[in-house]
Amino acid sequence: MAQVRVAPPGSVRLAALPPLAAYVHLPWCVRKCPYCDFNSHERTGALPEGEYVDALVADLEALLPSVWGRRATSVFIGGGTPSLFAPASIERLLSALRARLPLEPDAEVTLEANPGTAEASRFAGYRAAGVNRLSLGVQSFDDRMLAALGRIHGADEARRALDMGLRQFDNVNVDLMYGLPGQTLAMAREDIAEAVRRGPSHVSAYQLTIEPNTVFYRKRPELPAHDACADMQLAIEEALGAAGYEHYETSAFARPGRRSRHNLNYWQFGDYLGLGAGAHGKLSFAERVTRHARARQPREYLEAALHGRRGSLVEEQTVAPRELPFEFMLNALRLVEGFPVELFAARTGLPLAAAETGLAEAERRGLIERDRRRIRPTERGRLFLNELLALFLPG
């Protein structure tokens, strides 16, 4: 049953509503990777694609009264492995979405794909359905690393999928991981060099983290030392910088004009609808900022979305005003260029003074720098992001 908590009105006042995006979660994968703690479930048998799209549309319809009159600036179909869905299902999903929620004419529409599920005809189908940006989970171009990560594809498949993606889409992101079991600095350099040679418009480079509730957490692989990982990160930043990619967020690099609009909206504390199993969303109103979350297990989610009296929401709550400074900083301080000072009040509905204690301490410790216009993390702040963010935790 949905849990509803509402804060007293009046303590937050937004002058205008932020941009709106839509996140759509497709929760199935061919196999669960041993490091992954996303809401992804191993596929068993045929996927209930039709039923699932019906459930997504039901989620959307239930939220429409909360976003009446607004347009969406981006759609992100993530997972899981969305490329397990047939192009016809993605087409039905995007048509249903557009019919109910107007998209900006230049809306960014991203679909995540796994190289192990890539086919040229699928990619062409996604494009015809309205997807205009592909995000490919390559992880590495080294067979040994891909095996260590339990990926369903090898390096050649990753290369083929990327080349196919680049033929179909002019906006392609490649996900890479570093700090992998058995990886050396030279191997990490080679991965990034190969990505650069192939020329995607965007690269996301994540250091492998060991998350609770994963196979790697129970049976921890031996990872490169902390210093070696820091060297890899520096080498990746250098190689991408030299090749003309702008480093704009902790893990994100883009060619000029190709920053991910969808992810930027999260980092700028914009609004987004969360549709699908386990999806989270954030919606602002004149006097409150709210969050919503949905049932995680695909079966339970489908049942609730299609037949439940209250739909698939398991949680819907107003964010307490005292938590808003932390929530804002958690996102905005990931941005290398930080944020314009007025964005804080525009998105949280609170005066910047509400974050002043944290800002002053962060400045004193050399974790941020600021002038009248912008607040940005220093290099030290980016390196010690958790220490920086902790300064904004509600007391």
CA 65 to CA 39: how far, in whole Å?
Answer: 27
Binds ligand SF4 (CB under 6 A): choice among 12, 26, 77, 79: 79
Residues 111-170 that bind ligand SF4 (CB under 6 A): 114, 137
CB of 35 vs ligand SAM, minimal distance in Å: 4
Contacted entry of ligand SF4, ligand SAM, none for residue 89, CB cut-off 5 to 8 Å set by kind: none
Residues 6 and 321 sit within 8 Å (Cβ to Cβ)? no
Contacted entry of ligand SAM, ligand SF4, none for residue 331, CB cut-off 5 to 8 Å set by kind: none
Q: Which is nearer to ligand SAM, 214 or 290 (CB)?
A: 214
332 backbone dihedrals φ, ψ, rounded to 5°: -70, -30
- 215 CB neighbour count, 10 Å cutoff: 14
Kindly state the tokens that stand for 98.
């557009």
CB of 95 vs ligand SAM, minimal distance in Å: 24
When asked if residue 229 is in the footprint of ligand SAM (CB under 6 A), the reply is no
Residues 24-63 that bind ligand SF4 (CB under 6 A): 29, 32-33, 36, 38, 40
CA 351 to CA 345: how far, in whole Å?
Answer: 5
Residues 60-89 that bind ligand SAM (CB under 6 A): 78-79, 81
For residue 291, give Cα distances in angstroms to 106, 248, 256.
26, 26, 32
Contacted entry of ligand SAM, ligand SF4, none for residue 175, CB cut-off 5 to 8 Å set by kind: ligand SAM
CB of 204 vs ligand SAM, minimal distance in Å: 7
CB of 107 vs ligand SAM, minimal distance in Å: 21
Residues 250-289 that bind ligand SAM (CB under 6 A): none
CA 8 to CA 308: how far, in whole Å?
Answer: 29
Binds ligand SF4 (CB under 6 A): choice among 73, 74, 81, 250: 81
Residues 124-163 that bind ligand SAM (CB under 6 A): 137, 139
CA 377 to CA 77: how far, in whole Å?
Answer: 30
When asked if residue 200 is in the footprint of ligand SF4 (CB under 6 A), the reply is no
Burial (Cβ within 10 Å: 0-12, 13-18, ≥19) of residue 40: buried
Letter for the amino acid at 303? E
Cis upstream peptide for 395 (omega within 30°): no
When asked if residue 172 is in the footprint of ligand SAM (CB under 6 A), the reply is no
Angle among Cα 350, 8, 331 to the nearest 5 degrees reads 40
Contacted entry of ligand SAM, ligand SF4, none for residue 302, CB cut-off 5 to 8 Å set by kind: none
CA 253 to CA 247: how far, in whole Å?
Answer: 4
Torsional sign, CA 200, 201, 207, 210: negative
CA 306 to CA 309: how far, in whole Å?
Answer: 9
Residues 208 and 178 sit within 8 Å (Cβ to Cβ)? yes
Q: Which is nearer to ligand SF4, 39 or 318 (CB)?
A: 39
Residues 85-114 that bind ligand SF4 (CB under 6 A): 114
Letter for the amino acid at 301? Y
CA 148 to CA 323: how far, in whole Å?
Answer: 39
CB of 28 vs ligand SF4, minimal distance in Å: 8
CB of 90 vs ligand SF4, minimal distance in Å: 17
Distance of CA 309 to the CA centre of its chain: 30
By rule CB under 6 A, what count of residues binds ligand SF4?
A: 11
Binds ligand SF4 (CB under 6 A): choice among 18, 80, 82, 87: 80
- Return the residue matching tokens 């937050």: 12
Binds ligand SAM (CB under 6 A): choice among 23, 28, 35, 52: 35
Binds ligand SAM (CB under 6 A): choice among 112, 142, 191, 194: 112
When asked if residue 38 is in the footprint of ligand SAM (CB under 6 A), the reply is yes
Smallest Cα–Cα separation from 161: which of 241, 236, 81?
81
Which positions touch ligand SF4 (CB under 6 A)? 29, 32-33, 36, 38, 40, 79-81, 114, 137
Chain positions contacting ligand SAM, by CB under 6 A: 35-36, 38, 78-79, 81, 112, 114, 137, 139, 175, 177, 206, 208-209, 211
